[in-house]
Amino acid sequence: MKKTLFFLPLLLCLVACGQTLSVPSQYETDTFITKSGKTLKIHAIVHASICIEFDGNMLMVDPVTNLGDRTIDYSNFPKADVIFVTHEHFDHLDKDAIALLSQSKTQLITNRRCANQLGRGIVMANGDRLVLESWLTVEAVPAYNTTEGHLQFHPKNRDNGFILTIDGLRIYIAGDTEDIPEMADIKNIDVAFLPCNQPYTMTVEQLVRAAKTIKPKVLFPYHFGKTKVDDLPALLKDEGVEVRIRHYE
């Protein structure tokens, strides 16, 4: 049975405390306007690490410090108000990054296995809905492998994708998943992050099928490593999906 959790701490507003929210300028930034006319910024950090800035609050998704030859210095970032971790793999769960981004009021949202490893966290399972603030709602959705020989990477019912509704703007962060049947239930998505990196996530063909199912207004392929994603804009040009390719290798 699905359940809704209500958790209403006052998220820290850095602006109100006299601090200026400033993400390092080297990261690509996309700007969106929410339903009430406020600005939301999405910063492409690396691979599956996403930074969302809204109304003086910073949300971090799967922050990692080291990936291949890339190193992220999170000591140069403002502290996060909320950190989301989709699952336990090293390119998604990084204790050091979480420590650098955390302060006493930081909320950590994750699954059971990550919470056990970290010793803390608000646990969400597939189907849960969490109200953090009047402007921020989180839904945990399934993320898993379906291809034979790959099932061990992300078994069903373990990991999460997240749908964040931020002042009416709906952002789907798929996590590590293939094009699963549950995607048919994901509706009204403004921005989607879909992974493309077999054998762990989707092939390009699977990602195209997923995008056609979800029909987001804007699509960011992410977690793509060395997978060639340059053809995605052409493959989805007739679907009403705007593809934006950023440095999410």
Residue-range domain boundaries for the chain: 4-11+27-243
For residue range 153-201, list pLDDT tens digits in order.
999 999 999 999 999 999 999 999 999 999 999 999 999 999 999 899 9
In this predicted structure, what is the pLDDT of residue 218? 98
In this predicted structure, what is the pLDDT of residue 13? 42
CATH code, residues 4-11+27-243? 3.60.15.10
pLDDT tens track of the chain, all 249 residues? 455 565 444 343 433 444 454 899 999 999 999 999 999 999 999 999 999 999 999 999 999 999 989 999 999 999 999 999 999 999 999 999 999 999 999 999 999 999 999 999 999 999 999 999 999 999 999 999 999 999 999 999 999 999 999 999 999 999 999 999 999 999 999 999 999 998 999 999 999 999 999 999 999 999 999 999 999 999 999 999 999 999 999
Phi-psi region of 182 (alpha: psi -120 to 50; beta: other; left: phi over 0): alpha
In this predicted structure, what is the pLDDT of residue 6? 54
In this predicted structure, what is the pLDDT of residue 17? 43
In this predicted structure, what is the pLDDT of residue 20? 53
